[in-house]
Structure 1
Amino acid sequence: MRSFDTPSAPYPRPQMVRQQWASLDGWWEFAFDDANLGLSERWFDGRELPQRILVPFPYQSRTSGIGSREIHEVMWYSRSFDVPYGWDSGALLLHFGAVDYRADVWVNGRVAGRNRGGHVPFSFDIAPYLRPGQNRVTVRVEDRQDPYQPRGKQSASGTPVRIYYYCTSGIWQNVWLEPVAPLRIDYLRVVEADPGGTLAVTVHLHGPFSEWEAELDVFDDLDSTHVCASTWTSSRGASLELRTRIPDPKPWSPNAPHLYGLRVRLLHRGQLVDSVESYVGLRTIELKDGWFHLNGKRTFLLMALDQGYWPDTLLAAPSDDALREDVVWAKRFGFNGVRKHQKIEHERWLYWCDRLGLMVWEEMPNARSWSEESEERLEIEWLRAVMRDANHPAIVAWVPVVESFGFPELIRHPHQHDFLERMVSRTRLVDSTRPVIDNDGWQHTDVTDVCTIHDYSHPVEALLERYASTRLNGLPPETGWHKGKALFLPGAQYRGQPIVFSEVGGYLLAPERPERRRDRLYDHYGNVRNEDELAQRYRTLMEGLGSLPFLAGLCYTQLTDVEHEQNGLMTIDRVPRLPPEQLAALHRTLWPDL
């Protein structure tokens, strides 16, 4: 039995797939708890909730069946389910893809677990709480209008204004059940996937036990041909490394996104106890002489800013097809990468980036204000995100902080400066194979791997004039575009890193309603009156950027409109404003190696 409500839905976790699972997506009971009475009144103890909500869509979205844009900081979910036959003999994991922000989970009235962090997955073994027949799961969620919690672009007022949008509260990614053995595989980590064919996978087990054996099989993704294998036998321990060499290897790149299927089997005394499927792309990303090198070849990063936002479902993806289509659109426009902005996207989107060939900068949603607790919240959730996504070949950079969001006193507060450096160091400890950008846009520390610049100067001539000296000496200006912020913090300096305009362009369609011009967006971005003017401005901008010999990459703002921020190459409904093929041809003319 694959699913209760969505039999055609793909398994939500593409890098660690088991064949048996059941979706809990669908209609749940639901209630707001503005008076915060649910705990004292024991709503978790079998009480029927009065409303109905379609999980995994936030209550603010129309698709959820609720569609309220009002702020409710406490909400409850509940549903009943039957455990499929044979699933009660071992552990039964209850998975949540993401719940924003704090979640308490009960099964049959007993606490099964808690989580804090709105953008990362969590799971509990609920086998100890099950009973014969029908079971009931209840979830209490808190999503406070708290400036100290990582919230990304979600508006603190609940209303879209400037660069902020409607909130996405509660369950907003898949919920599912998965039967597993008590002795099982907990985590796979690809530690080496070299274009030359060397492959190393670390297998982490749920616990140490004796007389076990692990087997790794590698399959060619094109035709499922078995290409190589590796076996490890151990008498003790809870982790191991499986190494093999793939014959006639096919590297992964945006133009040739070849993947190899993986199967890891765990045996205990010769008996199969667990089997997990995954995949890998053979590729390296390195920084040399101020440039990115993909698989040893100098590569220009031509990216679009992607906020992963839909009109009817907000930050929750409407479907797996919708995630795939956004990747297809980016490639049709001729981009070889995207910068996913202030969002940890559903892992199925990363699967499609891997599958179709699109490089990704992954970025943590930031808080708005600083405190010691906000630092702790950010760090813990970010490292969990890196752990979740480290196996995806499409990801080529990590971005823990953007535009000093949540760190307003970087210049005057050494502690905040030090924290940025620690975030880079700790990210590297989890994954040392990719570059880390400390604070995307400006106010960099000494440890950033890339010098990123956000610059919306317009007209194009003004932008090019700002970097006239950089053409000559290769050194970026001391101050950036926005309010004269320093590009590097005091005591730090540019050290030859690749220079990337990681936000540029952003041409807004002039609003039909004059009152919308009062929005401060129009103080920063250039304006265009229609699509023809947008096409001319875009061409002029790209031709100007293509003339900068020091530029290692750029990110155009943005792929789609988001609410009132109408500066997308497509509308929020994914209708192109400019012919994708024409832009792709322009990109290939300016950067032939794309």
Structure 2
Amino acid sequence: MTPPRTRITRASRQDGRYPRPQLVRPDWVDLCGPWDFASGPVTALDDRPPFDRRIEAPYPPESPASGVGDTGYQPVVWYRRTLTAAEVEAAGGRGDGRRVLLHLGAVDHEADVWLDGHHVGHHVGGQTPFTCDLTAVLGDGDAELVVRAQDDPHDVSQPRGKQDWREEPHVIWYHRTTGIWQPVWLETVRADHVEELAIVPDVPAGAVDVEVRLSAGAGAGTPAAADVGPEADDALRLRLRVRAEHEDELLAEQTVRVLGRDVRLRLDLPRQHNGQQYEELLWSPESPRLVDVTVQVLRGDDVTDTVLSYTGLRSVAAAGRRFLLNDRPYFVRSVLEQGYWPESHLAAPGAEALRREVELIKELGFNAARVHQKAEDPRFLYWADRLGLLVWGETANAYAFDARAVSLLTAEWTELVRRRRSHPSIVTWVPLNESWGVQHGSHVAAQRHYGLALAHLTRALDPTRPVVSNDGWEHTDSDIWTIHDYSPHGTELRARYGTADAVAALLDGIGPAGRRMRLTEEPDRGQPVMLTEFGGVSLAPAGDPQAWGYSTARDAADFAARLAEILDAVNACEPLAGFCYTQLTDTGQETNGLLTATREPKLPVAELRAVITGCRDDGTAEPDERRGQVDDPAPGAHAPHPDDDGASPQV
């Protein structure tokens, strides 16, 4: 049974269950839970296979949590449930001509949706959300809702990430995630409503830029003043009101006339023009202050829509060999986060697990996470925003290079960047990893053009964050030079990254993996250098034939010694502006996590934290000025939080 929801009054203090945390409305209904399920090769609605099983959405059918647990190939899967009139009423009802919207957080990979046999939606892209408007075909009673997902396990032109194309997982690839794997939910809205919202801070200017996309037809009924009298004009006029607050302090408020679907405005924040106090509101992992933003749509004096959102005032840049957060050097201590759970695979076990994942990362002493080869659930990003964790935004890559692979990844990446650019936690974009899908970029000009185009496209969509064109090696045009190096020896790491001359020689030549580091003639412009994959030390039960890692420890003492050797070396390399350790948790047969697959630490957390941060009680290592503050674990990490702003539960 779905637990009672709490009515959200401030987006920055929600409880983490709302599926779309930066565009919040109070009334919604969670449609996760038991659905009828079938799998089979047919793709036509009339020829669908019999629904002979039950599945717990949003867990993929390959996972134990789904109740299906079938890890074999499933190229086509079907879901069915009854959408009840009571659920529509609980989501806001049909009054005032409201539209009934079905939201699907992510369905891998190609989805179709029917309501009572009427086709209401089609979507391509396994990591991006989509919405189906049910209004035109929904009657007054209950209705049959059907979702079909197609996900060819052998299609290597499709963005796959870590999903194995072989039937059984091997090396660094895992069981597949097919079909629905993020929340499905329902809400109703008035005809004039907000469809999309982006909020981008401008710290030097002391302002935030707000971009709103309104529903189709919004503004169409707004007359020109010459056509009607002033009273009718006032009654029909469409306006947008935006308000920004921090705690109980009003920072800015502005109302503008709507002349089209896309509205852009700049909120000036007067208190931020005081150069002696502006830093009090800045967002960082050590002080994750959020600013609440309320957006209202008004038709005359009638408020047709109210959405709650938030932003964080912070800037990021890469210059002078340093990563800059709020214009100050900030040493990035990151961990590779696969976002995979044994019981639920790429889907999170629940909303609370996403909060706990952020808390664990911070408790270990990291200030950043590189979410690897997936676009994580937006609720994870909310907790990263709320608790203070930098995130490198990545995506699942394809394995092939062809016109279809280019088209699919480009479309999905465009959508991801556009929808997630408001999260203050995301500080870097990474469209490609280790030349996946562009394996011959050093020889094939078309593949280099593709990598370069993705980097430029990303900057066009979001010019506020650094972009890594291809993480690990074979960079085309990156704002951060990133290197993958799994040497188990501290002496080798110190030799490669301990001096500026050694790093420069490495960037100009062949990297540790035997690949050219750069595929560009563009002169170096002082980009920071980071070691963004290293470590990977495996500690697994003795004799486990499936255990895999980049190097293997005999026991806990050997594991501790290997970690200390590697991390002490990296922490001592002054030219590095940051690192990303591989990895947070064991994942399938990949047993090189700091935590087990069930999130149990392999060494005491305090011991892990000391070696990760370079801060030892014995004084053997100290952080330098690059590293910034070593913050305490997430405040209130274990405190109950039915609703953080004290509102009463909504039953």
| TM-score band, normalised by shorter chain | over 0.9
1:417 match: 448
Moved more, 124-133 or 245-254: 245-254
Provide the rounded CA distance (Å) in 1 between the counterparts of 2:262 and 2:486: 51
**One-letter amino acid matched to 1:41:** D
Provide the rounded CA distance (Å) in 2 between the counterparts of 1:62 and 1:349: 22
Aligned residues: 577
Within the alignment, does 1:500 sit opposite 2:530 as a pair? yes
2:643 match: none
What does the per-residue CA deviation read over 1:72-115, in whole Å, with 9 as the maximum and x for residues that have no partner?
11110011112333623321111000000110111110110111
Provide the rounded CA distance (Å) in 2 between the counterparts of 1:22 and 1:516: 42
2:539 match: 509
Provide the rounded CA distance (Å) in 2 between the counterparts of 1:194 and 1:466: 36
2:285 match: 254
2:68 match: 66
Moved more, 166-175 or 131-140: 131-140
Provide the rounded CA distance (Å) in 2 between the counterparts of 1:191 and 1:509: 43
- What runs of 5+ residues in structure 1 fail to find an aligned partner? none
1:79 match: 81
Within the alignment, does 1:205 sit opposite 2:214 as a pair? yes
Q: Write the mapping of 1:49-448 to structure 2, written as runs, cut at 5 A.
A: 49-83=51-85, 84-85=88-89, 87-88=93-94, 89-145=97-153, 146-194=155-203, 197-207=206-216, 208-209=218-219, 210=222, 211-220=237-246, 223-235=247-259, 238-245=262-269, 247=271, 249=278, 250-445=281-476, 447-448=477-478
Residues 475, 520 of structure 2: 8 Å contact kept: no
Provide the rounded CA distance (Å) in 2 between the counterparts of 1:321 and 1:499: 35
Residues 251, 269 of structure 2: 8 Å contact kept: no
Query: How far does residue 245 in structure 1 lie from its aligned partner after superposition?
Result: 0.6
Moved more, 574-583 or 61-70: 574-583
Q: Percent identity?
A: 36
1:461 match: 491
Moved more, 525-534 or 308-317: 525-534
Residues 499, 553 of structure 1: 8 Å contact kept: yes
Residues 471, 550 of structure 1: 8 Å contact kept: no
What does the per-residue CA deviation read over 1:267-286, in whole Å, with 9 as the maximum and x for residues that have no partner?
01121011110011110001
**One-letter amino acid matched to 2:535:** G
Query: How far does residue 496 in structure 1 lie from its aligned partner after superposition?
Result: 2.4
Residues 497, 576 of structure 2: 8 Å contact kept: no
2:406 is paired with a residue whose SS is: helix
1:41 match: 46
What does the per-residue CA deviation read over 1:370-389, in whole Å, with 9 as the maximum and x for residues that have no partner?
11110110110011111121
Provide the rounded CA distance (Å) in 2 between the counterparts of 1:193 and 1:27: 45
Query: How far does residue 474 in structure 1 lie from its aligned partner after superposition?
Result: 4.4
Structure-2 change in CA distance of 1:469 and 1:546 (3 Å): closer
Query: How far does residue 584 in structure 1 lie from its aligned partner after superposition?
Result: 2.6
**One-letter amino acid matched to 1:324:** R
Residues 163, 174 of structure 2: 8 Å contact kept: yes
Q: TM-score, normalised by structure 1?
A: 0.93
1:476 is paired with a residue whose SS is: helix
2:39 match: 32
Residues 561, 567 of structure 1: 8 Å contact kept: yes
Residues 474, 550 of structure 1: 8 Å contact kept: no
**One-letter amino acid matched to 1:297:** R
1:257 is paired with a residue whose SS is: coil
Provide the rounded CA distance (Å) in 1 between the counterparts of 2:163 and 2:594: 22
Structure-2 change in CA distance of 1:415 and 1:433 (3 Å): same
1:386 is paired with a residue whose SS is: helix
What does the per-residue CA deviation read over 1:376-418, in whole Å, with 9 as the maximum and x for residues that have no partner?
1011001111112110000000000000011121122101100
Moved more, 90-99 or 489-498: 489-498
2:225 match: none
Moved more, 120-129 or 505-514: 505-514
Provide the rounded CA distance (Å) in 2 between the counterparts of 1:237 and 1:444: 39
What does the per-residue CA deviation read over 1:411-455, in whole Å, with 9 as the maximum and x for residues that have no partner?
22101100111101111111110001000000111x211110000
2:11 match: none
**One-letter amino acid matched to 1:241:** L
Within the alignment, does 1:22 sit opposite 2:29 as a pair? yes
Moved more, 117-126 or 195-204: 195-204
Structure-2 change in CA distance of 1:148 and 1:241 (3 Å): same
Residues 451, 494 of structure 1: 8 Å contact kept: no
Query: How far does residue 240 in structure 1 lie from its aligned partner after superposition?
Result: 2.8
- What runs of 5+ residues in structure 2 fail to find an aligned partner? 6-15, 223-236, 272-276, 616-621, 630-651
2:482 match: 452
2:605 match: 580
Q: TM-score, normalised by structure 2?
A: 0.85
Provide the rounded CA distance (Å) in 2 between the counterparts of 1:325 and 1:561: 16
Provide the rounded CA distance (Å) in 2 between the counterparts of 1:494 and 1:217: 43
Query: How far does residue 493 in structure 1 lie from its aligned partner after superposition?
Result: 5.7
Q: In angstroms, what is the RMSD of aligned CA positions?
A: 2.0
Provide the rounded CA distance (Å) in 1 between the counterparts of 2:418 and 2:312: 17
What does the per-residue CA deviation read over 1:460-484, in whole Å, with 9 as the maximum and x for residues that have no partner?
21232334664567453411111x1
**One-letter amino acid matched to 1:321:** E
Query: How far does residue 552 in structure 1 lie from its aligned partner after superposition?
Result: 0.5
**One-letter amino acid matched to 2:605:** P
What does the per-residue CA deviation read over 1:247-281, in whole Å, with 9 as the maximum and x for residues that have no partner?
26510000000111111111011210111100111
1:63 is paired with a residue whose SS is: helix
Provide the rounded CA distance (Å) in 1 between the counterparts of 2:528 and 2:109: 36
Provide the rounded CA distance (Å) in 1 between the counterparts of 2:174 and 2:585: 14
Higher relative contact order (CA 8 A, sep 6+): 2
Provide the rounded CA distance (Å) in 2 between the counterparts of 1:224 and 1:157: 55
